Amino acid sequence: MADKEFPEGFLWGASTAAYQVEGGIENVDWAEAAREGKVPEAGRACDFYNRFGSDFEIAASLGMNAQRFSIEWARIEPEEGKFNEREIEHYRAVLERLKASGVTPMVNLWHFTLPLWFSERGGFLEKGAPEIFARYCRFVVERLGGYADLWLTHNEPIVYSSKGFWDGVWPPFLRNPLQYLRVIYAVAAAHRTAYTAMKTVRPSIQIGIAKHNIFFESNSNPLNRLLCVCSDWFWNHRFLRLIEGYQDFIGLNHYHHKKYGATSRERETAVRSDMGWEIHPTSLYHCLIALKRYGLPLYVSEHGLADAADVHRPEFIKNAARAVHRAIEEGAPVRGYFHWSLLDNYEWTEGFTKRFGLIEVNYDTLERTIRPSAYVYKQIIERNALID
Ligand code: IFM
């Protein structure tokens, strides 16, 4: 790899998730919670379900050679055990579209939202959940496995359990430490069962999860050091250990830096996104290096920020490329980078108020406008190299 260049064939893309962009998904736990007034409505979202073709064209005009998207489980299996071939055809069209323009897909099978019939039975805490989830994954791979090599079963399992079972702000709105731990183990079991089922159908596909990891640091105080080590172990590595032997690559979703014992000056001077999250220029690099220990190919499956004014995103993207490049130089087998997100979208409890997109969406007209930062990304992609 020459000085500033990335390896040949490096994947550059963006990520989306079905419920956040597609629109018209009503038979999931989140839609039910919205009807009950507990979370904002997603409604027609970005209408990506109908506009994926033109959105992918914009992505291609920016030079992207990869896209990560998710399949909505409730579309494929609207009732338990009853599969909807028409929706399979929809996702086949999505994959055909990518294939026609030579774009590599990364397909995610579950991104937070559960079919209502499954959540009403207890979701992943239901006995038999691993088999139910694996049956769905297997069905999709039977039908669509020939279109993609890279598959994710789950997105951010620890975030899912923390928000839904500890903080109680996402469905099923519980605050129960025991259930919180149980669901983590249950989701890991579901992944293992799905992995085996998917590999049986198509041994050649590569399967991983998208793991949300945080860069933890501490000052020299021994208590803070201990907190840092424990947080790192539990948040970043416990789940990956639970699925060891059942993953062919690791997807890293990265957004946060946490320093135990940060000074008030450090806290006050930190640059923050519209979510109030600190923008740390090297945290991505540290998280990638920490994943070297697994000896698996790595993809940055999400990395981005809410920045409606697009003031921080250009430098954020340049720093992301620097972080990935440095990690590769130091031996981390990073194969691709997917920015979160391709489009502005539904940001869960924040509704449509936070803007993560390389492409701005006008929610009244659904018009798309490419943000200036997307052209910075385009330069990096076209040169397959750092730009300064
Ligand atoms: O929007 C989310 C996404 O669904 C999962 N990862 C983090 C993003 C930003 O919060």
Locate the domains of the chain by residue range.
Answer: 2-383
> What's the pLDDT band for 186 if we cut at 50, 70, 90?
very high
- Statement: residue 2 has pLDDT above 80: no
Mean pLDDT taken over the chain: 98
pLDDT for 182 equals 98
* Residue among 212, 213, 254, 340 whose CB has most ligand 1 atoms within 8 A, to mutate: 340
- Statement: residue 132 has pLDDT above 80: yes
Cβ atoms within 10 Å, residue 17: 26
> 106 near 152, Cβ under 8 Å?
yes
> 323 near 285, Cβ under 8 Å?
yes
- Statement: residue 125 has pLDDT above 70: yes
pLDDT for 348 equals 99
108 lines ligand 1 (CB under 6 A): no
Q: Is 156 a catalytic residue?
A: yes
Distance 341 CA to ligand 1 centre (A): 9
Residues 6+ apart with CB under 8 A from 234: none
pTM summary value: 0.98
Give the DSSP letter of residue 6: P
Distance 151 CA to ligand 1 centre (A): 18
72 lines ligand 1 (CB under 6 A): no
pLDDT mean over 79-87: 98
* Residue among 347, 354, 355 whose CB has most ligand 1 atoms within 8 A, to mutate: 347
What CATH class is the domain 2-383? alpha beta
* Residue among 169, 253, 345 whose CB has most ligand 1 atoms within 8 A, to mutate: 253
**Active-site residue identified among 77, 156, 217, 347:** 156
Distance 347 CA to ligand 1 centre (A): 7
Structural element, H or E, at residue 319: helix 313-329
Closest atom of ligand 1 to CA, residue 302: 6
Coil, strand, or helix at residue 284?
helix
> What does the angle CA 203 – CA 208 – CA 209 come to, to the nearest 5 degrees?
150
Nearest CA to 141 out of 67, 53, 50, 76 is that of 76
Closest atom of ligand 1 to CA, residue 275: 10
Distance 222 CA to ligand 1 centre (A): 33
CA atoms within 13 A on the CB side of 379: 12
pLDDT for 73 equals 99
- Statement: residue 152 has pLDDT above 70: yes
